[in-house]
Amino acid sequence: MTTFDFAVWAPLPESVELWTRPVGSDGPGEVSRVPMERDEEGWWRPASPVPGAGEGELDYGYVLDGSDTVVADPRSQRQPEGVHGWSRTYDATAFGWTDDKWTGRQLAGGVIYEMHVGTFTPEGTLDAAIGKLDHLVGLGVDFVEVMPVNDFNGVHNWGYDGVLWYTVHEAYGGPAGYQRFVDACHARGLGVLQDVVYNHMGPSGNYLPLFGPYLNAAGVNTWGESPNLDGPESDEVRRYIIDNVLMWLRDFHVDGLRLDAVHALADNRAMHLLEEMAVEVDALSAFVGRPLPLIAESDLNDPRLITAREGGGYGLTAQWSDDFHHALYVSLTGDTSGYYADFDSLAALGKVFEAGYFHDGTRSSFRHRSHGQPIDTFRTPTWRLVVCWDNHDQIGNRATGERLSAKISTDQIGIAALLTLLSPFTPMIFMGDEWGASTPWQFFTSHPEPELGEAVAKGRLEEFAEMAWDTSDVPNPQDPKTFTRSKLDWSEPAEGDHARLLALTTELLRVRRSYPDLTDPRFDHGRATSDDDGGWLVLERGAVVLVANFSDTPSEVDVEGGPLETLVVVGDVSTEGEHVRLAPHSAAALLRQQD
């Protein structure tokens, strides 16, 4: 067992006292109170031996400036009683890993599956999720991306309001449950990507301001106060974040991180936090001998994020592509409300395939200004963009949390799956979308504070104003039924259209692995043509050609280059030589016959 030193960075209080107690006790007579000493950098350490330290787990917490309130360790790895309770010592190095032969997965050529622990299974735990991993292996994905698991106040939540970044929510299984999950994924050949949130801190249970200047009150973003990345004492705040990054990758054997909303990181220092993060992760990757990708969520369309440091970029591995989703969504639904307005042409989807970004310096009508910069498509591989037809944001941030499968037909979902999973980018599937789940995925919270719950519900309604959506049926995030409605129904994959869509998704991933043209990362290896009047889109990737008819009338298109063999089809598609006939809402992957 490693030695637990109980050190805490707290430059603000004049005094800090460590309180400890044996696990299972709550009587005041069993509490030990240990004074702490401060060094020049604001770190406090016990001034005398801690009773019971090194003899097993201990509950502990800090009392600041003589108050009678025990607050959790900002770096706590276990919170059995929640964010307002005592911390508990946890030795992450003591877990009995069985993945010593695991060498990781490279993101290039891979497929991601995004899941939320609380709604992935009826039980909503990491151990229960292990029981569904064989489903993911059979599907053919390479990575499981786990939505945030850090501790938040309440029982269920999306996870983006976490306040203790070093711990795993106890209701999910705590840190030990998380390590069992990662070990089980590796045993089945699945990498694990952890979604982490460093751009803001949640509102409930946030005691960091009592310890030090962790947050920047002047840098409030949409979701809360931003971390202090460039103000006085920001060195330790940045270290707090980067140490958390390394904890997931080193102590919990995670294979990469998805970084939430990096555009909200307010950092004016010479080296941006993201670049500093990439430097340290690259160093750890070299030591552990496996790739450790960092994937950003950003709406900036700034190629510096995914440009190598040698080329003047931040050196992140990849980023989510909103432009792909928006162009595909509009092509399928015709919805041009709000930020979807600029994507009202099949040419928008074609541009994304050829250029990566749609907004690459073009005017954004939603923002009322130009937006983005061009990607250097000669030097940037396509797989650096993560694409999907739905994700937790795009579903959960619709007014009623309906999936795309609730808005369009099964064949149209098939078109979405074909174009996404056979794209040259890195495809991602949101849990249940592989079978067109009928369950919604709604925004849910369980804030114990009634006033906070009311404020969140009101804020949701205000967010929808710019999209001109009907908000009369928006579910109350605090209603427990909103959470339970969002759980997957695992009886569906064996039934009717659900079973057919699951078979299609599985076949598409098999085809993806069978033809190197589909994973070739060169932008100039592909060409897109489209016709809004005919409703068709053609994407050529070497010898493989993807054709899709988005309209509700038949289409015909000629594809030059020789006779065509059908690899996989959605709906009714027929070929004769170089001529392709497409029924309404149909698509196919075709292979040019070689002489």
Catalytic residue positions? 260, 297
Please classify residue 286 by burial: count the beta carbons closer than 10 Å to its beta carbon, then call 0-12 exposed, 13-18 middle and 19+ buried: exposed
| Sequence-separated (6 or more) residues with CB below 8 Å from residue 42 | 9, 10, 11, 212, 233, 236
Give residue 346's identity as a one-letter amino acid code: L
Contact 292, 256 (CB under 8 A): yes
Please classify residue 134 by burial: count the beta carbons closer than 10 Å to its beta carbon, then call 0-12 exposed, 13-18 middle and 19+ buried: exposed
| Sequence-separated (6 or more) residues with CB below 8 Å from residue 343 | 323, 326, 327, 329, 330, 331, 336, 349, 358
Distance in angstroms (rounded) separating the CA atoms of residues 54 and 36: 18
Nearest partner of 18 among 32, 28, 5, 4, judged by Cα:
32
Q: Are strands 318-320 and 294-296 parallel, antiparallel or unpaired?
A: parallel
Backbone φ and ψ of 381, nearest 5°: -75, 145
Nearest partner of 557 among 572, 541, 535, judged by Cα:
535
Angle at the Cα of 508 from the Cα atoms of 507 and 509, rounded to 5 degrees: 90
Distance in angstroms (rounded) separating the CA atoms of residues 92 and 57: 12
Helical packing angle, 410-421 and 496-514, nearest 10°: 20
Q: Could you tell me the two tokens for 201?
A: 């801190």
Distance in angstroms (rounded) separating the CA atoms of residues 146 and 127: 13
Distance in angstroms (rounded) separating the CA atoms of residues 520 and 522: 6
In 321-406, DSSP assigns E strands to 362-364, 369-371, 385-387
Distance of CA 231 to the CA centre of its chain: 28
Nearest partner of 545 among 503, 572, 515, judged by Cα:
515
Nearest partner of 238 among 216, 210, 257, judged by Cα:
216
Nearest partner of 372 among 364, 380, 381, judged by Cα:
364
Contact 50, 38 (CB under 8 A): no
Backbone φ and ψ of 35, nearest 5°: -65, 155
For the chain, how are helix, strand and coil distributed in percent, rounded to 5? 30, 20, 45
Distance in angstroms (rounded) separating the CA atoms of residues 113 and 258: 12
Nearest partner of 178 among 88, 253, 121, 241, judged by Cα:
253
In 306-408, DSSP assigns E strands to 318-320, 362-364, 369-371, 385-387
